[in-house]
Structure 1
Amino acid sequence: MPTFDTRDHVRLAYEDYGTGSPIVFVASWVLSADMWEYQVPHLVEQGYRCILMDRRGHGRSDRPAAGYDIDSLADDLAELIALLDLRDVTLVGHSAGGNEVARYLSRHGEDRVARVAFISSTLPYLELTDDNPEGVPEAACEVLVDAMRVDRPKWFADRAQGFFATHLGNTVSPALIDLTMRQCLSAAPWATIAFWRAAFHNDGRPDLRRITVPVLILHGAADQSTPAELTGRRTAKLVPHAVYKEYPTGGHGMYITHAAQLNADLVEFVKG
């Protein structure tokens, strides 16, 4: 698996498959490149090049003590794109990975990017503030942190069914649920909390307002992790030229439960 060293000497792992127009996948909070196993083979077979990176503290990358703020993570993404000299890129970010995608565009520009897709994103802004009355109180952020410090595996296990919205008939085997939970727990405990806090406090509204390239927003109406009314629908209003699609039975893990539909929407978007 190839790696590269960042400006602050952190070694990051990435994967590179296929040829053609490049699609760069940015994983969710606590998940790594492995989460995209239901997208990459299909897209490579459609003639696209797929690049996936394990962010710092995740997967097979180094586990430093610092650099989990959104600016630094966006800079890591920029270093990979520059290293591979990628052009005409489609950036795809899931959940908190959408923060990195939006910040990359804000900090590094759109010269290398043709379009972006936000899937189940935490954007635009989770924290309750005077100018964000729809947000979540700071205390809720720290309740989550406290729970993970007591029993991190239990916190993820308690939310497994809701992650996939199985109560709506989405079929996910116990083995696949177990695999996803193990992938979540593979992130460094330090990175798990540091990146969560960074994403929770990140105000992505200025970043979204600057985007001029085509945007696709895919969200699940049954997403318990990032409710559509707090995230996806609001993001669509901030990016009026975006295409917004909401899956009625989609949960946060719809990249698995609705993989065929999601893949078709991505291919249609990239071709368009």
Structure 2
Amino acid sequence: MGHYIQVEENVKIHVEDIGSGQPVVFLHGWPLNNKAFEYQTSLLAKNGFRYIGVDMRGYGKSDKPWSGYDYDTMAKDLEAVVNELRLEQFVLAGFSMGGPIAIRYLTKFGQDNVAKLLLMGAAAPIFTQRDDFNVGMKPEEVDDIIAQIEKDRPAFLAEFADLFFEQKHSPQFLDWFQSLALEAGAHSTLNSAVALRDEDLRGELSSITVPTAIFHGKKDQICPYELGEILDKEIPNSVLVPFKDSGHGINADEPERFNNELLSFLKSSGV
């Protein structure tokens, strides 16, 4: 079933809420929405978990305001969802851009209510290179992406799909993937790209105390595997799970292994 949750005046967030049991809150990547996890939704419900799929502001069925695409506001939106649904001892699962937003939620709003953290192909601790950080895209490359989106968003998204996956997928699947991205607001897509380019979570990782699993594709061309290694090194109670045949979209490139590892992590007593 779907909920619309008021996060601020004139802004509602859409949330899919399926199954019962321990809640697992999924935060999607840029520029998708919670439907990107449709192959996990039934899996969780069948195995005694409650799937909570958040369409972040600007994406999917959520409202698409002009502003609020920084990580602080996105994390605050998540807090409103958690409070409204009265979620307790939930698992927080962030994919790509959803990864840093999950981290910011923990460090800004506390970890007492979170049982575990799952980071999947996370765009963290930083998505772009700095003078003292040489992993990931250069800021100018993100500026180029912004320019391409402003010129022809559908064409850019078609190319982005090619980068996203390592394995071959059907043309229909790639069309579906692009259709998810086209549900986003154009301005939302651009403003989130700015956040991805500029935000920095390096000082926040060591304070995360919940058991954490880091799923990352070895062949990820969007968030390099080295980011997963950095997260594993900096987050105290973490385990890194490499997906050797996957690009960025690990749940589609290695679906069976992804689902097995997901259930194994959810059912474990800790890391």
Q: Could you say which TM-score interval applies, normalised by the shorter chain?
A: over 0.9
Which of 171, 179, 184 is the matching residue for 2:181?
184
- Structure 1 segment 224-239 matched on structure 2, within 5 A: 224-229=221-226, 231-239=227-235
The 2-side partners of 1:14 and 1:133 are apart by 36
- Structure 1 segment 157-176 matched on structure 2, within 5 A: 157-165=158-166, 170-176=167-173
Please state if 1:205 is matched with 2:206.
no
What is aligned with 1:268?
264
The 2-side partners of 1:86 and 1:49 are apart by 10
Q: Label 1:34 to 1:43 Cα distance change in 2 as closer, same or farther (>3 A).
A: same
What is aligned with 1:97?
98
Contact 1:236 1:242 in 2 (8 A): yes
Contact 1:39 1:259 in 2 (8 A): no
Contact 1:221 1:247 in 2 (8 A): yes
Please state if 1:32 is matched with 2:33.
yes
- Superposition TM-score, scaled by structure 2 size: 0.95
The 2-side partners of 1:137 and 1:34 are apart by 29
Secondary structure at 2:75's aligned position in 1? helix
- Superposition TM-score, scaled by structure 1 size: 0.94
Which range moved further: 182-191 or 200-209?
Answer: 200-209
1:23 CA drift (Å): 0.4
The 1-side partners of 2:141 and 2:217 are apart by 22
Secondary structure at 1:225's aligned position in 2? coil
1:135 CA drift (Å): 5.0
The 1-side partners of 2:64 and 2:202 are apart by 29
Which range moved further: 234-243 or 92-101?
Answer: 234-243
In percent, how many aligned pairs have the same letter? 33
The 2-side partners of 1:138 and 1:106 are apart by 25
Which of 238, 241, 262 is the matching residue for 1:242?
238
Q: Label 1:108 to 1:176 Cα distance change in 2 as closer, same or farther (>3 A).
A: same
What is aligned with 2:51?
50
Which of 236, 248, 262 is the matching residue for 1:252?
248
| Unaligned segments of structure 2, at least 5 residues | none
Contact 1:70 1:99 in 2 (8 A): yes
Q: Deviations over 1:7-61 (max 9, x none)?
A: 3430111111111111000011111111110111011100001111111110111
* Corresponding residue pairs, total: 267
Q: Deviations over 1:163-187 (max 9, x none)?
A: 111xxxx341110111001111211
Contact 1:220 1:246 in 2 (8 A): yes
The 2-side partners of 1:24 and 1:244 are apart by 20
1:241 CA drift (Å): 2.5
Q: Deviations over 1:125-150 (max 9, x none)?
A: 12332332445432222111111111
Q: Label 1:222 to 1:69 Cα distance change in 2 as closer, same or farther (>3 A).
A: same
Contact 1:105 1:207 in 2 (8 A): no
Secondary structure at 2:175's aligned position in 1? helix
Give the letter for the 1:210 counterpart.
S
Which range moved further: 234-243 or 87-96?
Answer: 234-243
Please state if 1:129 is matched with 2:130.
yes
What is aligned with 2:108?
107
